A and B are shown apart, each in its own frame.
Chain A
Amino acid sequence: MKNRFFWPLLLGVALLLRLWQITAALWYDEVFSALMAGLPLPLLLEAAAGDVHPPTYYLLLSAIGMVAGAGEIAMRLPSLLASMALIPLAYRLARSLRANTTTARLVALITALAPYQLYYSIEARSYALLSLAVGLAALGLVERRYWLAVAGSLIALYLHNTGGVFLAPLWLVSLRNERRYWLAGAVVAVGYLPGLWWAVAQAGHITGNYWVPPLTSPGRLVATLDDMVWFFPKSPYVFASSLVTGLLLLLILLDARRLPRLALAALFGPLLLLALASIVWQPLLISRVMAPAALFLYILAGWVINRSPTRRWALGLLAAPVLLATLAGMITWQLGRDPVDRELAAELRQYDGIYHSSVGGAVMWRYYLPDTPQFLYPQGDTELAATLSPQTRQALGLYEIDLGLIKCATVATPAGNIPMRRWAFLYFHNPVTAPDEIEFVASTLQNYPTRPIADLRHDDTTAAALVELTPECDHAAIYH
């Protein structure tokens, strides 16, 4: 394709695909970001300290929120911009690693169209920005622009506590006996000291984070690499996509000696480090954590695909239908994001108040229905319930109170006293739900007059429903 058409076409298509779902309802993690961004600074820092990430990303969203509000588009804007910037960066990095123009364009093409990138391009979490920061650090190291390497590294380290896992292999493989290299490394090390202090303080909170599955099979490494291209948990093309990924992975391993060492180290280094940490310390390896290494997988993929015309044709013919089908699926199935929440909002507004059994539900609806009185079943500190620490729950303003105490209460709100006669009771059981919470839901459904309103999800790993709760009320306490 002629030079002048390639970039406008590629960036245009990439932007369209990314904008497609940008107004979709936020999911739990994104709502958490948005709620954090809406907190006053001291509370934001307190809530972040009780969680597992540095506060930097929330501070950025907070600044955006002050200008543009906390809507879906505003909260997703940094990810969108970072994801778009990653495409030319992928090209430039591939070229700097001595890829020819065709290979570098192929790398840019994969970066632009990979479903994994599309997903994170509009997720209000730090992964797209983190990928860009690590990519910039890599470019700085390859091109000996050490100011860029320092800036990219520090941004990555302050965006996510796993930043070092991606940077260490990059810096080690770029090791040069140059004064500027050591000086730059020292600036990063000293600059990260406050962040390191923060990360070490947070490391204790990770205990009991059961939502990362324990690493039990080497198959997880292949599954993670597959996710880093195709990411689409509900894809029916998973068999076809896994065969394409398997082929790419084997070609990368077979060609390893000809491939740029930096890209190999930046992909397999973090993968093996996270796998090792998952075995000896805590489960850490999930596909989203590997986001910053995806760029290097695309560089290696571009390299092995473009090695001969046969490979270009074979892999192009094999991968193109899977890609097109997956993209079509992502567009029609809303990227795996659940669209039900907005429809539910209208339903939930009709109730005097909402009682949540789960933190997830409480966080979601605090964002979407900020004016409705909402309460949460007291979570305690059992291991499986450690999705949010008590400190973070308190800073976010989630009111944990026993249903028995407030079921017939009148709640004093700025809008006046609201008698809580009609409750919406929302429960959401998932793999990290504590057994006592499941028991509480079962007993509530048994002990109060209830009317099922909507079965939200129901399969082997989740059960969620909205139930109307109308307790018999003889008295009316006032709850402030």
Chain B
Amino acid sequence: MTEYYLAWLQLINTRDQFYLLALLLVAAGLVWYKLGPLHHKFAATYIGGGVLLVSGLVGWGATLV
């Protein structure tokens, strides 16, 4: 095992955990949307869209730095 190999494994594991977390977040949002009362549906939609927008903007901002 080299330091490069170990760093690579670490990177991939982090990525995997990140995707699992993203899936769980979306699942929670979807359950909230399905089960919540009407005004919660609006909230779920706006928060979901907002998170996407913000994360997209942060990503875009990161390319400018």
> Contacts A213-B9, A223-B15 hold; do A463 and B26 have CB atoms under 8 A apart?
no
Bound-complex Cα distance A329 to B22 (A): 22
* B3-21 contacts to A (CB < 8 Å): 4-5, 7-9, 11-13, 15-21
Q: Is the pair A430, B17 in contact by a Cβ cutoff of 8 Å?
A: no
How many of chain A's residues have a CB under 8 angstroms from any CB in B? 46
Q: Is the pair B13, A217 in contact by a Cβ cutoff of 8 Å?
A: yes
Q: Is the pair B4, A462 in contact by a Cβ cutoff of 8 Å?
A: yes
Q: Is the pair B15, A236 in contact by a Cβ cutoff of 8 Å?
A: no
Q: Within 8 Å CB of B17, what residues of A?
A: 217, 219
Q: Is the pair B18, A236 in contact by a Cβ cutoff of 8 Å?
A: no
Q: Within 8 Å CB of B36, what residues of A?
A: none
Q: Is the pair B5, A250 in contact by a Cβ cutoff of 8 Å?
A: no
Q: Is the pair A240, B8 in contact by a Cβ cutoff of 8 Å?
A: no
Q: Is the pair A384, B19 in contact by a Cβ cutoff of 8 Å?
A: no
Nearest chain B CB to A430's CB is how many angstroms away? 6
> Contacts A237-B59, A322-B52, A433-B4 hold; do A250 and B26 have CB atoms under 8 A apart?
yes
* A188-212 contacts to B (CB < 8 Å): 210
Q: Is the pair A222, B20 in contact by a Cβ cutoff of 8 Å?
A: yes
Q: How large is the interface on B (under 10, 10 to 19, 20 to 34, 35 or more residues)?
A: 35 or more
Tell me if A432 counts as interface (CB < 8 A to partner B): yes
Tell me if B43 counts as interface (CB < 8 A to partner A): no
Bound-complex Cα distance A236 to B57 (A): 9
Instruction: Give the contacting residue for A431; candidates B7, B15, B16, B52; CB below 8 A.
Output: B7
Tell me if A370 counts as interface (CB < 8 A to partner B): no
> Contacts A235-B59, A236-B62 hold; do A460 and B20 have CB atoms under 8 A apart?
no
> Contacts A213-B9, A216-B13, A318-B52 hold; do A239 and B59 have CB atoms under 8 A apart?
yes
Q: Within 8 Å CB of B22, what residues of A?
A: 222, 239, 242-243, 245-246
Q: Within 8 Å CB of B1, what residues of A?
A: 435
Q: Of residues A249, A329, A431, A435, which shows the largest number of chain B Cβ atoms within 10 Å of its Cβ?
A: A431
Q: Is the pair B49, A318 in contact by a Cβ cutoff of 8 Å?
A: yes
Q: Is the pair A431, B4 in contact by a Cβ cutoff of 8 Å?
A: yes
Residue of B nearest to A214 (CB): B9
> Contacts A213-B12, A429-B4, A461-B4 hold; do A223 and B52 have CB atoms under 8 A apart?
no
B23-35 vs A: 1/0 string, CB under 8 Å? 1011100100000
Nearest chain B CB to A196's CB is how many angstroms away? 32
Q: Is the pair B18, A250 in contact by a Cβ cutoff of 8 Å?
A: no
Nearest chain B CB to A337's CB is how many angstroms away? 17
Q: Within 8 Å CB of A397, what residues of B?
A: none
> Contacts A222-B22, A242-B22, A249-B23 hold; do A217 and B55 have CB atoms under 8 A apart?
no
Residue of B nearest to A216 (CB): B13
Nearest chain A CB to B15's CB is how many angstroms away? 6
> Contacts A216-B13, A250-B30, A461-B7 hold; do A322 and B56 have CB atoms under 8 A apart?
yes
Residue of A nearest to B30 (CB): A250
Bound-complex Cα distance A249 to B30 (A): 12
- Chain A residues within 8 Å of B, Cβ to Cβ: 210, 213-214, 216-220, 222-223, 226, 235-240, 242-247, 249-250, 254, 314, 317-318, 321-322, 325, 329, 384, 429-435, 438, 460-463
Nearest 10 pairs between A and B by C-beta?
A: A219-B16, A236-B59, A219-B20, A246-B26, A431-B8, A460-B7, A217-B16, A239-B55, A242-B22, A222-B19
- Chain B residues within 8 Å of A, Cβ to Cβ: 1-2, 4-5, 7-9, 11-13, 15-23, 25-27, 30, 45, 48-49, 51-53, 55-56, 58-60, 62-63
Other A-B pairs beyond A236-B62, A243-B55, 11, CB < 8 Å: A217-B16, A219-B18, A222-B20, A240-B55, A240-B56, A245-B22, A246-B26, A322-B52, A384-B5, A430-B4, A431-B2
